[in-house]
C-alpha cells in the first residue's frame, strides 16, 4: 500500500505517515518481502512507468533487514514433491509425505466403509428436527 501511495506522492511523506500506524521493524519486514510475486503486476508496471526506485527509497529509510524468502523448503515439502512426481503408483511416498496411512480414505459424511450410504437412525432425525416427506417419523 505504501508503494501505491508513493506513486501519487513522495516516499518520505508516506513513510512518515506509516510510522503512525506501524513500527519501523514492521515496515522493514514488509519491504524485505516486497519482491517478485509478492507485488501485483499492475503495481510493478506503474513503478516502472514512474521511473523512481520507490522500493529502494523505502528500504533505505527502514532499518536494515534480511530479505524474506517467499517459498521455504522443508523435508515434508520435498517428500510431497517427490510423491507428486512419482504419481499415484507410489502410495508409500504419498503416505510418508502427508503422514496418513493408506487405509485412511476420505469419505463423505454418512458413507460407510464401501462408499454406500449408511441407514440413518430415525431418532437422530427426530432430535435434529428433520422429518421425512413432511410427516411424522415412525417410532
- Predicted pLDDT at 13: 95
pLDDT digits 0-9 by tens, 77-127: 888 888 888 776 555 555 655 655 545 545 555 555 555 666 666 676 665
- Determine whether 18 is exposed, middle or buried from the number of CB atoms within 10 Å of its CB (0-12, 13-18, 19+): buried
How far is C-alpha 122 from the chain's CA centre? 41
- Predicted pLDDT at 95: 61
pLDDT digits 0-9 by tens, 41-50: 888 899 889 9
Q: Please tell me the pTM assigned to this model.
A: 0.47
**Could you give the C-alpha distances from 87 to 68, 93, 101, 102, 116, in angstroms and in order?**
32, 9, 17, 15, 28
- Predicted pLDDT at 22: 93
Task: Identify the H or E element spanning 50.
Answer: helix 41-50
**Residue scoring higher pLDDT (58 or 110):** 58
Give the Cα separation of 65 and 59 in Å (integer): 9
Pair 70, 36: CB distance under 8 Å: yes
- Predicted pLDDT at 19: 94
Confidence of residue 31 (pLDDT cuts 50, 70, 90): confident
Spell out the residues 6+ positions from residue 62 whose beta carbon is closer than 8 angstroms to its own: 15, 24, 27, 28, 31
Query: Whole-number mean pLDDT of the chain?
Result: 74
Amino acid at each position: 500500500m505504501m508503494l501505491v501511495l508513493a506513486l501519487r506522492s513522495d516516499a518520505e511523506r508516506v513513510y512518515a505517515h506509516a510510522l503512525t500506524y506501524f513500527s519501523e521493524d514492521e515496515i522493514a519486514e514488509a519491504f524485505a518481502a516486497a519482491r517478485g510475486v509478492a507485488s501485483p503486476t499492475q503495481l510493478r508496471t506503474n513503478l516502472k512507468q514512474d521511473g523512481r526506485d520507490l522500493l529502494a527509497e523505502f528500504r533505505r529509510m527502514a532499518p536494515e533487514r534480511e530479505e524474506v524468502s517467499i517459498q521455504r523448503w522443508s523435508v515434508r515439502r520435498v517428500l510431497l514433491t517427490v510423491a507428486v512426481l512419482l504419481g499415484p503408483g507410489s502410495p508409500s511416498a504419498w503416505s510418508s509425505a502427508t503422514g496418513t496411512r493408506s487405509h485412511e480414505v476420505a469419505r463423505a459424511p454418512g458413507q460407510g466403509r464401501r462408499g454406500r450410504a449408511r441407514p440413518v437412525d430415525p431418532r437422530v432425525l427426530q432430535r435434529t428436527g428433520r422429518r421425512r416427506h413432511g410427516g411424522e417419523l415412525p417410532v
